[in-house]
Chains A and B, each alone.
Chain A
Amino acid sequence: MNSELIAILGATLAAAVPLIFAGLGELITEKSGVMNLGVEGMMLIGAVAGFAGGVHWGVGGGLLCGAVAGLLAALPFAFLTLSLGANQPAAGLALTIFGTGLSAFIGQYFVSQSMPGLQAWAVPGLAQIPVIGPVFFNQTYVVYLSYLTFAIVAWTLARTRVGLILRAVGESPDAAHAIGYPVISIRYAATLCGGALSGIAGAYLSTVYTPLWVQNMTAGRGWIAVALVVFAAWKPWRLMLGAYLFGGMTILQMYLQGKSLQLPAVLASIPHLQDAVDVLMHNVLGTSQFLASVPYLATIIVLVLISRDRRVLFLSFPASLGKPYIEGR
């Protein structure tokens, strides 16, 4: 296998990390029946806090700061939607707008600063496996953390009482309340957990992926994470798949920029076709703007594919998603 492909695959895993953390966080939140559209805002707050922490205490401290900041950012959202029963889409939007403003505001103090990047750490033994080793096990430790988080979330949801309770609350808060579960507290926990994971996702961007603070540096990844949860039909393993797909797309677009497309011989023999393709590649498809918009177009396509068939979603869809719950109504 050639080394360029291994490099692309390895870079894909690194690019997918923020989507994995934010996506798993939103998945947990949505499983409990709460739709938080503020992921983008929480990621931005996590990113700026992570960078601030990272400058002082290194990457580990940065990630921790990001998690705490993300959790705190989710708190007003949780209070509004859970304690006060506010409209969830609107509150999520408010959180994104607020997070955009707050991160830019705090970020002004960090604009020209930089911090050292994180070195990859090859897992002894595992990294020597051909192909799989260099792709999966020669990464920064945050990538390994993303595997671990996935495993914990998937196992908890499928196998434990906590997971069962979360699914129950998300399906029918009334029934969960009637048999004695504190619906609101459980939703608080899920929402704050989602916030913390989004915060880590943001902090990873600003401390590991590109160790810099840039205004709006999440560039819509929070929204893509929300879409990925739908794509994943609320299943963790499908979310991983989606995240790697999108990670791959971001990496591929960098490789494709300015490249030309050589048609296979059969097609190339058609007069002018190769010329037309060259012109198209140079002026449209190969431009940075087109390639940069591919993940967003792909998100739409993915939403279309998954939403078309409602039956796929039936059993894993949290039936109370987005509906405010007020006890005793």
Chain B
Amino acid sequence: MEASADHSGMPPRLALRHITKRYPGIVANDDVSLTVQPGEIHAVLGENGAGKSTLMKIIYGAVQADAGQIEWNGKPERIATPAAARHLGIGMVFQHFQLFETLSVVENIALALEGHFDLKTLAGRVAEVSRKYGLPLDPQRLVHSLSVGERQRVEIVRCLLQNPQLLILDEPTSVLTPQAVRALFDTLRQLAAEGVSILYISHKLHEIQELCDRATVMQAGKVTGEAEPRQETPASLARMMIGRDLPVCSTSAFAGESQPVLEVRGLSFANPDPFGTSLHDVNLTVHSGEVVGIAGISGNGQAELLAALSGEQISAPQAILLNGNPVGNLHAGRRRDKGLAFVPEERLGRGAVPAMTLAQNFMLTAHRNPDLRSFGLMSRTRARLHAAKCVERFDVRCNGALSAARSLSGGNLQKFIVGREIMQNPRVLIVAQPTWGVDVGAAAFLRQTLLDISRSGVAVLVVSEELEELFEICDRIAVLAGGRLSQPVPREQTDAENIGLLMGGQSQAA
């Protein structure tokens, strides 16, 4: 690679020495050291919760380390605020975009820049930089009207206008189609060739192998290894990342009779929210015994489709059929009565009430069980027993059924919610982003659970941004883009490239 030029004799662009950061109850970074050379593309690899994001926030001045030292171009620095980081020449592209929806592109960029406040001149500079690096943007558009990919460009252009010497990207590809990822990589290589160092945070092994010169691997807050990714195999990187081989799911064919359970017919939804997406003529059938996956980048109608399916948003009666009965006009509770179960993307605040105990959270959807509720009164003891059963059966690691939902890690809370929904004996189970932010072990357990429940005769619908996950567990895959759903295709008849093209079809056109 042209990027890995020889920089011997120059001090490293950035050196972290023995960084430690503690949060109540957890050590996020434990004695972490790493160095980045000028013009180097350096990967920080680790699974969810390994402490990568905290480390980046420390470099960017958004969080202060409890101990350790940061050297910038050979000199020790104390980076107290993001503004100080920007002064040094550090730019950051956040995983969760730090943009303001109601402001225009140029206003968003102006907020991160200093100097004379002149939006007109700035708009010109934005257009110029975006042309130079192949990141087309209209400076006057309001951010809420942009696609996810365009928003990422705003973040990158915002950094580039500050002439950074180091660019940090936190999981930048989770919102991009495979094609858009290649375009991003081209931009990054161009920057590296100009001498900009890049810190690239990811848990996707093949991307790191394709793009990065060196990698620092983290696990549970500690550095577990340094590697040259191109010398390694995905399996060897995975072992460094999780300390063992990547678990794989086992699939069998469904033995029972396959019947349509969930049918969506011509579902449309005009979104009153100007920030939201509308649905256009969505058609889909999910049969008992199969897992159907919906791929696509969030913001393309996923939230709207899920709300329409779960009953949080009501539609025409005939638009959604459950076991052949129209349910489109029934609200969420009535649909659950008829055998629908749903695991939402937001675990805290939607799938579970953060401040309530697991026992109380179990009641959220299990209250229709006559064992738990009679004459309008609830039985707390029995709710606790049921919740404890769920904790045991689905391997939820916590301090028992009386621990608060918010005290659980993402993976364990997800296991609890999935378990709770399965214990309602549903006919159809809808799961959004089943393993988002979950560690590898829990993710494998969750995927296996979904496969097993489908093979017991339940119709399972999975909505996910992770293509690899969908290819691992789904029998058929459809793509939701721009509020339109493509025809589901059997897994064997498609590949990531084709799905990626469909994903880009509507939303990435801009």
Contact = CB atoms under 8 A, between A and B. Distances in A.
Interface of A: 160-161, 164-165, 167-168, 171-172, 174-181, 310-311, 314-316, 319, 328
Nearest to B101: A171
B98 A174 contact: yes
B61 interface: yes
A315 B98 contact: no
A56 B97 CA distance: 55
B102 interface: yes
B62 A167 contact: no
A180 B275 contact: no
B375 interface: no
Contact of B82 (A165, A167, A178, A314): A178
B111 A165 contact: yes
B274 A180 contact: no
Interface of B: 61-63, 81-83, 85-86, 94, 97-103, 107, 110-112, 117, 142, 272-275
Contacts of B142: 315
Nearest to B62: A178
Contacts of A167: 100, 102-103
Nearest to A310: B272
A164 B102 CA distance: 11
Given A160-B117, A171-B101, A178-B62, 13 more contacts: A161-B110, A165-B111, A171-B102, A174-B98, A175-B98, A178-B98, A179-B111, A180-B85, A181-B111, A310-B272, A314-B275, A315-B142, A315-B274
A175 B86 CA distance: 15
B277 to A, nearest CB: 15
Closest 8 CB pairs of A and B: A180-B82, A175-B98, A178-B98, A180-B83, A161-B117, A179-B112, A171-B100, A168-B100
Contacts of A315: 102, 142, 274
A171 B103 CA distance: 9
A310 B274 CA distance: 10
Given A161-B117, A315-B102, A177 B272 contact: no
Contact of A179 (B98, B103, B107, B273): B98
A172 B100 CA distance: 7
B288 to A, nearest CB: 40
11 contacts: A161-B110, A164-B111, A171-B100, A175-B98, A179-B98, A180-B61, A180-B82, A180-B86, A310-B272, A311-B274, A314-B275
Contacts of A311: 272, 274
Contacts of A164: 103, 107, 110-111
Contacts of A177: 62
A319 B94 CA distance: 20
A164 B110 CA distance: 9
Nearest to A317: B102
B30 to A, nearest CB: 19
Given A310-B272, A314-B274, A180 B81 contact: yes
Contacts of B82: 178-180
A156 B465 CA distance: 42
A73 to B, nearest CB: 31
B103 to A, nearest CB: 7
A168 B101 contact: no
A275 B113 CA distance: 71
Nearest to A316: B102
Nearest to A314: B274
A320 B81 CA distance: 23
A113 to B, nearest CB: 49
Nearest to A328: B63
Contacts of A165: 111
A167 to B, nearest CB: 7
A192 to B, nearest CB: 22
Nearest to B102: A315
Contact of A175 (B85, B99, B110, B117): B99
A316 B102 CA distance: 8
A316 B101 CA distance: 11
Contacts of B97: 175
A21 to B, nearest CB: 26
A208 B111 CA distance: 41
Nearest to B64: A328
Contacts of A328: 63
A175 B272 contact: no
Which interface residue of B110, B111, B274 has the most chain A CB atoms within 10 A? B111
A319 B62 contact: no
A66 B165 CA distance: 51
B111 A319 contact: no
Nearest to A161: B117
A29 B99 CA distance: 21
A172 B144 CA distance: 13
Contact of A168 (B61, B86, B103): B103
Nearest to A172: B100
Contacts of B83: 180
A329 to B, nearest CB: 11
B26 to A, nearest CB: 13
A284 B131 CA distance: 71
Nearest to A177: B62
